Amino acid sequence: MLEDIRSELGDTTRAPASQRTRTAEVLKRARESHKPVEVTIDGNTIEVPFGATILDAAQQLGIRIPTLCYHEDLCLAGVCRVCVVEIEGQRTLQAACSYPITVPIKVQTHSPKVRRARRHIIDLLLGSHYGECYTCSRNNYCELQRLAAEYGVDCFRFGHLSEPRFEIDQSSHALVRDMNKCVLCRRCIRTCIDLQEVGVLEAIGRGNRTKIATFMDKPLAEVICINCGQCINRCPTGALRANDPTDEVWQAIDNPKKHVVIQTAPSPRAAIGECFGLEPGHAVTFEMNTALRRCGFDRIFDTNFAADLTIIEEGAELLMRLKRALVDKDESVALPQFTSCSPGWVKYIEHFYPEYLDHVSSAKSPQQMFGAVIKTYYAQLNGLDPKDIVTVALMPCSAKKFECNRPEMCASGHKDIDFGLTTRELAKMIREAGIDLLGMPKSDFDDPFGTATGSGVIFGTTGGVMEAAIRTVVELVTGHKGEDLFEHAEVIPVRGFEGVRYAELPIADVGPVPELVAHLFDDWDWLKGVTLKMGVCHGTANAKKVMEDIKSGGKFSQCHFIEFMACPGGCLGGGGQPGPTSPEIRAARAKAIYAEDRAYTVRKSHENPAIVQLYKQFLTDGPCGQKSHHLLHTHYMARGKYIE
């Protein structure tokens, strides 16, 4: 039977997505058509579905088998052999992560033969691994280091590289590649090809000449890398890391002539506690504020404020596009409108679907909007010279480092955001300052950007941008409270971790045009009876599915608004978040984010008093006006026309 399945599957080692889908379907049919199989592991017996792996069975029994190339998010590889086990009656050891159980078997996971083999495998990996652990960015968090300690490796039995074999690639603003630390587990390849379907990395060469490389071995900055950092999150060693600016941030803090402000996004606050021993799912927002002050930052602001600002600008832009399509009958209007707050997604569409760039919202991301506002409005309020303000952004995302270095992101006349920090990097700074994060007293954000809403918080999870937009657009158009349509104003249809989601929202009646957008619209009569169609997807593999559906004229081509997030789970699964990552960890972080949303008194972006004040005092021509175009958009959209 196993031979029949293999025959039907063919070679799947380098299979495209369509074949991998067929593989899953074939295996599913096989499991459904066969009875459970009995397996005995270390004397413990359990029945498992036909085709389940030995590693699956061991996990159900609570038996730990060490792994290195295996990852819950990725397809099986079985290349490192650290997880080898002994099967009764078989001469050779087998990889537990990829051995399918199709007949009853007896397995030993720590026999003398198994322990000796694992020790030799780890010794061999260390023999081709260059560098000292104490100078490595992954020191104390390295999976190879942990395995070496676990198996008593106290010397280099097969030698050790005395000189690096490869140059370190520091060409990217987002990522650094040091292949001298690579153990050829191929997690990065499977992440880039299978999980994200970008395909920047591949194994080249054979035997001891094998290495992980880009196309024609070019630097990362010269290939189609989208900077999402998902490869970093799954690399077990220090071969991949984010481009760390913490030394420059410390220099700015220590310079008395500089006014250093930091904005903190919701996802890092829901995850940074993991770096200090907390289980996933605990937000430490206000403890972190105190820690940041003790680090020396002059002001701590809430990125949720800028997320609310993004909703106002992006929502107004969507309504303008709809008016052009429904009232003016302008067939050139680019619908559906795509979100623009994920820089990894923006880079993805630039590389793979450039013909659809007009569909991307002209609104900048919250990070970049905030930088522009700080170096203009905030500078004026406080009598500061923008050149003396240093803006730092705490983000869950390595692509944010690339975004803040894009040449167009200087609307204030200065670089909008000077430095992007990941969650991991800020944790390092807090430890370096000798601060016990979990023991910090709570303190609030600073004004005038300390006021935010629940809508800003939920930006941190997939579906959050769409939900925040619905909360605001529905109230602006219908005049009814979101709570009248959705219990607790929570738009459940766009929540969840399905790769792609679709929802519809009928507009039964309309209300008067609020003052906030009265400069753009006279009435909403043209929206009465319209059903808004929306899509949500996370991870660029899912983005590809949606884009291909749009190209073929499918369901998503009929949408009005689609949220795209480059990372699995959205920002909470970003490439700058603490490791490890898994579906369960991402779900726990989402739970923390939604709990914060419920704790806010104000939960809709247009009700944020700080946003209202900003438009009254500074952005006086309103959303999508000339001033907001200059500062908050990459293009200007006014009365149905783009103005460069």
Catalytic positions, written as ranges: 314, 317, 341, 361, 400, 403, 408, 571
Q: Which helix (H) or strand (E) holds 395?
A: strand 389-395
Pairing status of strand 419-422 against strand 389-395: parallel
- Quote the CA–CA distance of 452 and 601 in Å, as a whole number: 10
Integer Rg of the chain from CA: 26
Contact 15, 23 (CB under 8 A): yes
Token duo for residue 56: 């699956």
Token duo for residue 122: 């780890």
Contact 67, 97 (CB under 8 A): yes
- Quote the CA–CA distance of 294 and 89 in Å, as a whole number: 62
CA distances from 454 to 175, 199, 457, 490 (A): 32, 36, 5, 10
Contact 230, 71 (CB under 8 A): no
Beta-carbon contacts of residue 571 (< 8 Å; ≥ 6 apart):
265, 266, 267, 342, 395, 396, 397, 459, 460, 461, 565
Contact 375, 401 (CB under 8 A): no
Burial class of residue 569 (count of CB atoms within 10 Å of its CB; 0-12, 13-18, 19+) = buried
- Quote the CA–CA distance of 289 and 275 in Å, as a whole number: 16
CA distances from 79 to 68, 143, 158, 439 (A): 9, 16, 20, 43
Taking the CA of residue 238 as centre, how many other CA atoms within 13 Å lie in the half-sphere pointing to its CB?
Answer: 21
Return the bridge partners of 501, or none: 536
Nearest to 587 by CA among 575, 604, 573: 573
- Quote the CA–CA distance of 60 and 46 in Å, as a whole number: 8
Name the one residue in this structure whose structure tokens are 């077990």.
236
Contact 576, 229 (CB under 8 A): yes
In 439-585, beta strands by DSSP E: 500-506, 531-538, 561-565
Pairing status of strand 84-87 against strand 44-48: unpaired
